Amino acid sequence: MTVIDANRMHEIETRYPEYFHRSFRQRFGGLMILIATLLYSLYAVWFFDLPKLFAEAHWERVGIYLSQWVSYDVQPELRIEDDGSIDIRYPRFSPLGDNPHPDWLVNNPDGSITVSISGTSRTITVSKSETIVTAHGISVPVEVSSGAPKVVGPVPGWMTVYDDNVLADLGFAGNVSISVDRVKIRKRFIGWANFIFDTQSSFVDKPVGEVVSLIISGPRIKPDQSNLSLAFDDIWNNSEWQHGDVWTKLFQTIVMAFLGTLLGSLAAFPMAFMAARNITPNRLLNQILKRFFDFLRSVDMLIWALFLTRAFGPGPLAGSGAIFLTETGTLGKLYSEGLENIDNKPREGIKSTGAETVLVHRYGIMPQIVPVFVSQTLYQWESNVRGATIIGAVGAGGIGLKLWEAMRTNANWENVAYMVILILIVVFLFDAASNALRHRLMGTKAH
C-alpha cells in the first residue's frame, strides 16, 4: 500500500486543481438545474391553471370524435301521425340512398315498427301510444300519448328525462330521442359508408365479384361509355367522399411545397454567397442580407399566407408564395452559415493558381457545400409538405382548406380521418425519400 505524504498531496492538488477545488457551479450545478426545472413546472401548472383545465375538459368528446372517425350512422326519424300511422323519414343525403329499406327496420303486423340498434339486445319498438326501449337486459316503456313523454317505472342510468323528450344512450351502437310525435334514432355502423361508390352509382351495393365481372366482360351499363370508364368516373366523382377533389387538393399541396422550396432555394443560393463574410468581405452587405433573411423567416409562414391570400385571393399561388418567402429566409441563413464554415484550404490553393473568382467558387467551394445544401433543402421540402397543409386552412389552397371545411361542419369526421390518413402517408413517403437522398448525398448509411 502506497502512502502519500503531505508534500506529495499538495503537489497533486496544485497540478490538478479542477479535481480538488471545484467551483460552486461544478458542485451544485446539477442540483440547481433540477430545482429550476421543478419551479418552472410548478409555475407552468399555475400559469395555465392545469387543474381547472383538466377538470373542465370535455373528455367525452374524444371518444365521440374517434368513434366517428371509424364509423358512420344512419338516422331514421319515425313520425307518429294523427291517424296513428308511423311515417319513416331519413335525412337528406342519407348513406342508405334516397329510397332505403334496411333489414334492421321491421314493420310489425300490429302497425308498430321495430328498429334493431344492435342485434336483439338493443331494440326500439315504436307504436302510436308508446315506445319500448330494450337495452342492457331490460325493456323500458315510454308513453307518448300525453303532452310529454313519460317513462313507465324506474328510470335506468342510461336514460335521461327532459321536459319534452327522453334520451336513451345505447353506447357505441347509437342512441334514441323520444318525444310525443316523433322518435329520432341514431344507429352506428363500423366502417366508411359508400367509400368506393356513392348511392347514385350504378355499381353501389353490388358484390365485389359482380362489379369486377361487369367491368371486365359485362354488358355496358351506359351505351356510350365502357363499364371501366364508368366505374372510374363514379369513384373519382363520388359525391360523399369527393375522391377527385381530395386527391387534386393533395397534389396541389405537394406542388406548393415543391415550388415554394425550389424558388426559395434558388433565391437564397446567390444571396448566401454575398451574406457569407469569408466569401464577400463587405460587412455592410453581409449584415443587410442577414437581417433580410431574419426578417423573412421571423414572419411565420401562416402570416405570409394570410397576407398573400388578401393580395392574390385564395389558392395555391398564395401558398407557394408564403413558402417561397419563408424558405428564402431560412435557407439563406443555413446556406450562408454553411459557407462560413467551409475549409478555406482548397479555395486558397485554387486561388493561388491565378484562377478567376467563378472557378475558385466552382472548384474550391462547391464540392464542399453541395451535399450539405441539398441535404438542408430536402429537409425543408419535407417539412414544407406538412406546413403547406396548415397554411391551406387559411385559404392558401391545397388539402388543408378542404380538411378545415370538413372539420367546421362537425359532422364529417370520417372524411377528416380519410384526409388525415392521406396526409400522413404522403409525409411518411416524403420523409423516407428525403432521408434516403440525404444519406446518399452525404455518403452515410440510413438507419
Question: Quick check: 346 pLDDT over 80?
Answer: no
What's 435's domain CATH number? 1.10.3720.10
Please indicate, yes or no, if residue 224 is contained in any of the structural domains.
no
Question: Quick check: 297 pLDDT over 70?
Answer: yes
Please indicate, yes or no, if residue 35 is contained in any of the structural domains.
no
pLDDT for res 401: 83
Please indicate, yes or no, if residue 281 is contained in any of the structural domains.
yes
Q: Can you tell me the distance from the alpha carbon of 323 to that of 388, in angstroms, rounded to the nearest whole number? A: 8
pLDDT for res 219: 86
pLDDT digits (tens, 9 = 90+) for 171-206: 888 899 999 889 999 999 998 988 998 888 888 888
Please indicate, yes or no, if residue 19 is contained in any of the structural domains.
no
The angle subtended at Cα 342 by Cα 336 and Cα 348, nearest 5°, is: 120
Residues 279 and 170 in one domain: no
Q: Of the candidates 171, 190, 209, which is a domain's last residue?
A: 190
Q: Can you tell me the distance from the alpha carbon of 249 to that of 402, in angstroms, rounded to the nearest whole number? A: 8
Please indicate, yes or no, if residue 381 is contained in any of the structural domains.
yes
Contact residues for 141 (Cβ-Cβ < 8 A; gap 6+) = 130, 131, 132, 151, 152, 153
Please indicate, yes or no, if residue 154 is contained in any of the structural domains.
yes
Q: Of the candidates 170, 190, 210, which is a domain's last residue?
A: 190
Query: How would residue 18 be classed by pLDDT, with cut points 50, 70 and 90?
Result: low
Residues 286 and 421 in one domain: yes
Please indicate, yes or no, if residue 46 is contained in any of the structural domains.
no
Please indicate, yes or no, if residue 404 is contained in any of the structural domains.
yes
Please give the residue that has the higher pLDDT: either 342 or 268. Answer: 268
pTM above 0.85, yes or no: no
Domain count, the chain: 2
**Residue 409 belongs to domain spanning:** 243-442
Max mean pLDDT range (9-18, 145-154, 357-366): 145-154
pLDDT digits (tens, 9 = 90+) for 285-296: 989 999 999 999
Q: Can you tell me the distance from the alpha carbon of 31 to that of 404, in angstroms, rounded to the nearest whole number? A: 47
